[in-house]
Amino acid sequence: MNILAPSDEGLQRAAEALRAGLLVAFPTETVYGLGGDGFNPHALARIFAVKGRPRFDPLIIHIAERDSLERIAAIPSLEPAVRNKLDVLCACLWPGPLTLILPKQPEVPDLATSGLPTVAVRFPDHRVAQQLIRRSTGAVAAPSANPFGYLSPTRAEHVQEQLGDQLAFILDGGPCSIGVESTVLDLSAGSPRILRPGGTPRERIEAILGAVEGPSAEQGRMPHSPGQLKSHYAPRTALTLHRREEMILLPYEPSAGYLFFDRRSRDAWVQGLDRPYDLEPGGTSRIRLLSEGGSLGEAAARLFDLLHELDKIGVSRIRAERVPDAGLGPAINDRLSRAAAAEVLAH
């Protein structure tokens, strides 16, 4: 068993492993990361191999001090106006679920950036992640700790099940509080553009910078950022995404799993069924609510966990409800629609 508690000793052992070029999975506020030394090409190559991740999908470098940014990104090459935006974003939203794309320093290995002239950097808002980064090399490359294309892990057990035997250690920090990956914001091309919706809502960024661009439909077809690959974040079970109006009118399928946004939708569906449906335990086991009371924060935090559960209990198909498009809603809908697209592409 290679799961470690994030005690002083656990963190020390995990940090030593990272310094030695080995891989360590660790908790962040978004999802669990698969970490390797960001400046060690052997460790980076191993991350791609373990995940089965194509080399054209660049990694995010995680730091734990604002000052580490200069080692990774070529800040002086930015226009002064962009540098100001960067400063305000870092002051207001770091540490947090926001990844910034910036011109890279030559010392950052090409493997980390898939040969791009830009690099993705994030400062996670999680004590265990910060301690691990500070005690190891100060710059830890970490994609989500799941096989490429599959659901992201939000608990140490998810990592253990999917990749456990290939890692030096898994630091167990309990369930992730945000539960969806970071928002990716590109600052390298003049006007800021969201490449992937995520844990920092667009509204928070726009309150600071004013209107920002993206993500656009054509980015989905031509992945400028592979987190935008149309098929991604997918369970093994086929998933169909429904608007609320559709979802509450679905006929009952005995073998399907249902993922409702909230109790209101679930109750509306049950009331509309042409025969009474037993919601007692046993009857409810294939029906999940992202959030009883309709909180988007709670829905995001539970999303991958519930998809893992439905995937495991062996339903014929997951029918999931699209959530409202505010706050963390776009990030949730993005992950659900990519999970739905995975099936289309697989056939």
Instruction: Note whether 160 binds Mg ion by CB under 5 A.
Output: no
Describe the crossing of helices 329-346 and 296-313 by its angle, rounded to 10 degrees.
Answer: 30
Q: Which amino acid is located at 91 in the chain?
A: A
Instruction: Note whether 181 binds ligand AMP by CB under 6 A.
Output: yes
- According to CB under 6 A, which one of 17, 25, 72, 101 is a site residue for ligand AMP? 101
Site string for Mg ion, 106-145 (x = CB under 5 A): --------------------------------------x-
Instruction: Note whether 118 binds ligand AMP by CB under 6 A.
Output: yes
* Ranges within 34-73 binding ligand AMP (CB under 6 A): 57-60
Q: In what order do the strands lie in the sheet with 257-260?
A: 239-242, 318-321, 257-260, 287-289
Instruction: Note whether 195 binds ligand AMP by CB under 6 A.
Output: yes
Least distance to Mg ion, CB of residue 47, Å: 11
Least distance to ligand AMP, CB of residue 226, Å: 4
d(CA 147, CA 54): 11
Determine the interface stretch with ligand AMP among 42-50, 164-172, 225-233, 293-301 (rule: CB under 6 A).
225-233
- Tell me whether strands 118-122 and 169-171 are parallel, antiparallel or unpaired: unpaired
* Ranges within 120-149 binding ligand AMP (CB under 6 A): 120, 143-144
Least distance to ligand AMP, CB of residue 38, Å: 12
d(CA 25, CA 83): 32
CA dihedral 222, 336, 170, 43 (to 10 degrees): 0
Q: How far is CA 95 from the centre of its chain?
A: 16
Q: Which is nearer to Mg ion, 28 or 137 (CB)?
A: 28
Q: Which is nearer to ligand AMP, 27 or 143 (CB)?
A: 143
Cα three-residue angle 267-298-123, rounded to 5 degrees: 160
Instruction: Note whether 154 binds Mg ion by CB under 5 A.
Output: no
Question: What is the DSSP track for 36-49?
Answer: EETT-HHHHHHHHH
- According to CB under 6 A, which one of 119, 168, 239, 310 is a site residue for ligand AMP? 119
Question: What is the DSSP track for 88-127?
Answer: HHHHHH-SSSEEEEEEBPTTS-HHHHTT-SEEEEE----H
Instruction: Note whether 184 binds ligand AMP by CB under 6 A.
Output: yes
Q: Which is nearer to ligand AMP, 265 or 333 (CB)?
A: 333
Q: Can you give the binding site for Mg ion, defined by CB under 5 A?
A: 144
Q: Can you give the binding site for ligand AMP, defined by CB under 6 A?
A: 57-60, 99, 101, 113, 116, 118-120, 143-144, 181, 184, 195-196, 224-227
